[in-house]
């Protein structure tokens, strides 16, 4: 049976965006470990597929912003991507940090008792191939040790393929703008949550989503005052580059 939002808790209601990317290079093990040190229980990451169909944790389509390489993730094999430095761009002390695979990160989360939002980035990759690989990897790891997670994407085509592969997996629909067909999309995907750009969130919209028995998650919130307002409206959780600052608001 698909998981119910009533059984799905994000506590504290803060998700570390790409780990704790205000303090360490995004989407690296260093960033996820920093989030753990800050008291974060949930982190968000982005996944893409390499030229040789390996799943790696990386945000941008092009690799030059956060590594010493060039080109697109999907045009390179894992061996080349693993040769790159994914930390020096942020600070010299992170020199040698690598682009992690999804498998490496899941193993780390299981060891550290972290929960994860796996965001699938849209690519020219066949949605079915990518969805099958993701679902297969998650299923194999769940046999070893249960870890809380949900899958999200702006790309509804790949979310549909994930649901076909395993209807029980928790799904969230990501949107940068509010659209009138949001409920139709969420119903079709049986979403547990609707994830929105915080700039488009209003109290009325939050209540509209909550009325459909779904969580409302807002990204990317780095201002504690904005987070407090969103929580007062009923937002279930926020994504933050500096999650410790938002957690501090909750305990004050």
Catalytic residues: 17, 59
**Extended strands (E) in 105-191:** 115-120, 149-153, 171-175
- 45's CB contacts (< 8 A; 6+ apart) are 18, 19, 27, 32, 57, 105, 116, 117, 118, 119
Burial class (CB in 10 A: 0-12, 13-18, 19+), 19: buried
The two structure tokens encoding residue 172: 């969230």
Phi, psi of 213 (to 5 degrees): 60, 45
Identify whether the C-beta of residue 214 lies closer than 8 Å to the C-beta of residue 152: no
C-alpha distances in Å from residue 110, one per residue of 90, 213, 244: 26, 29, 22
């Amino acid at each position: 049976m698909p998981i119910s939002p009533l059984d799905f808790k994000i506590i504290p209601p803060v998700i570390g965006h790409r780990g704790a990317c205000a303090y360490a290079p995004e989407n690296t093990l260093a960033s996820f470990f920093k989030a753990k040190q800050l008291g974060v229980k949930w982190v968000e990451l982005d996944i893409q597929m390499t030229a040789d169909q390996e799943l790696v944790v990386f945000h941008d389509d092009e690799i030059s912003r956060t590594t010493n390489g060039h080109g697109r993730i999907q045009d390179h094999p894992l061996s080349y991507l693993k040769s790159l430095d994914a930390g020096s761009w942020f600070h010299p002390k992170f020199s040698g940090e690598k682009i992690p695979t999804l498998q490496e990160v899941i193993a780390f989360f299981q060891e550290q008792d972290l929960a994860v939002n796996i965001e699938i980035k849209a690519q020219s990759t066949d949605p079915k191939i990518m969805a099958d690989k993701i679902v297969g990897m998650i299923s194999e790891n769940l046999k070893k040790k249960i870890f809380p997670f949900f899958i999200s994407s702006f790309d509804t085509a790949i979310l549909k393929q994930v649901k076909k592969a395993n209807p029980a997996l928790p799904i969230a629909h990501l949107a940068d703008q509010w659209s009138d067909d949001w409920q139709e999309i969420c119903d079709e995907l049986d979403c547990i949550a609707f994830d929105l750009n915080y700039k488009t969130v209003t109290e009325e919209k939050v209540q509209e989503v909550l009325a459909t028995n779904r969580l409302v998650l807002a990204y990317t919130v780095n201002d504690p005052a904005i987070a407090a307002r969103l929580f007062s409206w009923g937002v279930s959780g926020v994504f933050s580059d500096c999650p410790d600052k938002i957690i501090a608001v909750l305990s004050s």
